[in-house]
Structure 1
Amino acid sequence: MTETQTAKTARTSENPILVVGGTGVTGRRVAARLTAAGHPVRVASRSAARPFDWHAPDTWPAALAGVRRLYLVPLEGTRLTGPFLQRAAEAGVERVVLLSGRGVDNPDYLPAGHPGGIVHVTGEEALRASDLEWTVIRPSWFSQNFSEGFLSDGVRSGDLRIPGGDAAAAFVDAEDIADVAVAALTEDGHQGATYELSGPAALTLAEAMAEISEASGTKVGYTPLTLDAFTAELVADGWDAEDAREFGLALTPLARGLDAHLSDGVRRALGREPRSFAAFAADAAAAGAWA
């Protein structure tokens, strides 16, 4: 290691690593790992000592002050990633690990203009065009969607009812996502890499529910709905019709089999195989996710 590299390492080890999205599924795991490893961490949130609000750019400088490394979970449905990255570079940030998503480079993955795609497309473009050291993480669907995310209520009800069809998806454990993010934040050799992450096997939603049933000891079924039927059920539950259909459209790549392929990002980044869905289900059940 050169004298310059040694000085840079010493400097960054004393500066807080900013975790934007630090209370979410991946962010809180990243923050916990960094803290356990002895790295100073600053979690960006509106209730933090330095309040951070995506929609209030005047809060960004205080959150970024002194930061050299950044884990960035973008705000869904916005084009704010680019402006934030520009502000980060001006504040002295050197390295960014961006959470994106598989399918971002597939124009047929989501309908043109869908907010779920816009945030990732524009975010990746802004990061690649910057002078920052960058790593992009593109995970498949999180396994934790079934235990602590937007599908958890359906699982707890005993009948997951979504327009997911009968195709399979290579669900990825958020524990793996966090491990890759921490490696990219704290180690050299990941700069300029795009890691597409998946689990070790693709499962249909019926198979995923069978794994959860076995782990939890409670029968959970899966009912594939059409997009129109799913939208109607959400509207009956009080959703705005446009929001309900937009949500349903975000799930349709599952039905079209666009997430069935396996990716080697976990192996490339960490030198090990990804965790299985069965391991996720066992851990989630032990933690009382579906109790």
Structure 2
Amino acid sequence: MQTKPILVIGATGKTGSRVATSLEAKGHVVRRGSRSAATPFDWEAPETWAPALSGARAAYVTYFPDLAFPGAVEKLESLVETAKDVGVEHLVLLSGRGEHHARLGEEVVRNSGVDFTIVRAAWFAQNFSEGYLRDPVLAGVLPMPGGVVAEPIVDVDDIADVAVAALTEHGHKGELYEVTGPRLMTFSEMAGELSRATGREIRHVPISFEEFHGNIAEAGGTFVADVFTAIARETLDGRNAHTTDGVMRALGRAPRDFADFARTAAETGAWTSAA
């Protein structure tokens, strides 16, 4: 077992928290990278990067809230240079499927001179249970743009499992794992699975991208809404309407189905209250 720590950037996020917990459960030394950590990491404070990376043998890299945010790719470039300078041996980058800026971020890591693995993920199933769509689901609606475009939505637990494998096992360096769920689903079909899991009706409500923007702006402000709406316009055009074998290639098993995610989330109380 390696004694050098693995830095998990974004250790309080959906994937980062799972990656850090799984690594610790397997006996690895983990440095949880967040603004409140003992050794803090903050994307907005470059002076925190070198101390967080120093002494780490590998790092799981996520950019919050998304690589599409202005300045994100440039910050990633600086972070990669810092990682190289302090001797980090392996970077595992979480990327977004079908996103132009995410591809630019991937190229930064590919060209860094540091060993890398890229995990390019489809849309997160946990957006319904832990993210901005939880409250609408509690209210019985699923307001989403994109019409009848199908998405191979992926369970975040699968993303974390792939990242942990890449960080701890041989054979993953230089790989690109594009990870999706096992089937294509429209938002209407997702609403049906959520209805079955929760035992109450949840309806897909088709909305325009302008309405989508308004909903996000109300919750998170105009700047956040601008970026996420741009991502939705870019990715909900059919470009991602196919499944991939990334989970199988990385883990030797099939990805989890959305129905299993919904059932497990319901059983663990994800939608029991608005708290």
Aligned to 1:15: 4
How far did 1:71 drift? 0.6
| Identical columns (%) | 47
How far did 1:247 drift? 2.6
How far did 1:218 drift? 2.1
1:150 aligns with 2:132: yes
How far did 1:233 drift? 4.8
Aligned to 1:92: 87
How far did 1:54 drift? 1.0
| Aligned counterpart in structure 1 of residue 35 of structure 2, from 46, 67, 73 | 46
| Aligned counterpart in structure 2 of residue 188 of structure 1, from 145, 170, 185 | 170
Work out whether residues 70 and 95 of structure 1, in 8 Å CA contact, stay in contact via their aligned partners in 2. yes
Quick one: distance in 1 between partners of 2:120 and 2:170? 19
User: Which moves more between the two structures, 240-249 or 173-182?
Assistant: 240-249
Higher Cα Rg, which structure: 1
| Aligned counterpart in structure 1 of residue 246 of structure 2, from 265, 272, 277 | 265
Deviations 1:22-66, CA, capped at 9 Å, x for gaps = 111111111111000000001111111112111111111211121
Aligned to 2:98: 103
Quick one: distance in 2 between partners of 1:185 and 1:87? 19
How far did 1:97 drift? 0.6
Letter in 2 for 1:201: R
Letter in 2 for 1:288: G
What TM-score do you get using the length of structure 2 for normalisation?
0.91
Quick one: distance in 2 between partners of 1:242 and 1:58? 25
Aligned to 2:183: 201
SS of equivalent to 1:19? strand
How far did 1:252 drift? 2.8
Q: Tell me the number of residue pairs that the alignment of Structure 1 and Structure 2 aligns.
A: 266
SS of equivalent to 1:223? strand
Work out whether residues 98 and 234 of structure 2, in 8 Å CA contact, stay in contact via their aligned partners in 1. no
1:121 aligns with 2:103: yes
SS of equivalent to 1:203? coil
Quick one: distance in 1 between partners of 2:154 and 2:25? 23
Q: 1:29 to 1:240 in 2, by over 3 A?
A: closer
What TM-score do you get using the length of structure 1 for normalisation?
0.86
Aligned pairs for 1:19-30 within 5 A: 19-30=8-19
Work out whether residues 253 and 259 of structure 1, in 8 Å CA contact, stay in contact via their aligned partners in 2. no
Q: CA RMSD in A?
A: 1.7
Q: 1:43 to 1:238 in 2, by over 3 A?
A: closer
Aligned to 1:212: 194
| Aligned counterpart in structure 2 of residue 60 of structure 1, from 35, 40, 49 | 49
How far did 1:131 drift? 1.5
Work out whether residues 144 and 187 of structure 2, in 8 Å CA contact, stay in contact via their aligned partners in 1. no
Work out whether residues 16 and 42 of structure 1, in 8 Å CA contact, stay in contact via their aligned partners in 2. yes
Quick one: distance in 2 between partners of 1:233 and 1:65? 41
Aligned to 2:228: 247
| Aligned counterpart in structure 2 of residue 278 of structure 1, from 238, 244, 259 | 259
Work out whether residues 169 and 254 of structure 1, in 8 Å CA contact, stay in contact via their aligned partners in 2. no
Letter in 1 for 2:172: H
1:165 aligns with 2:147: yes
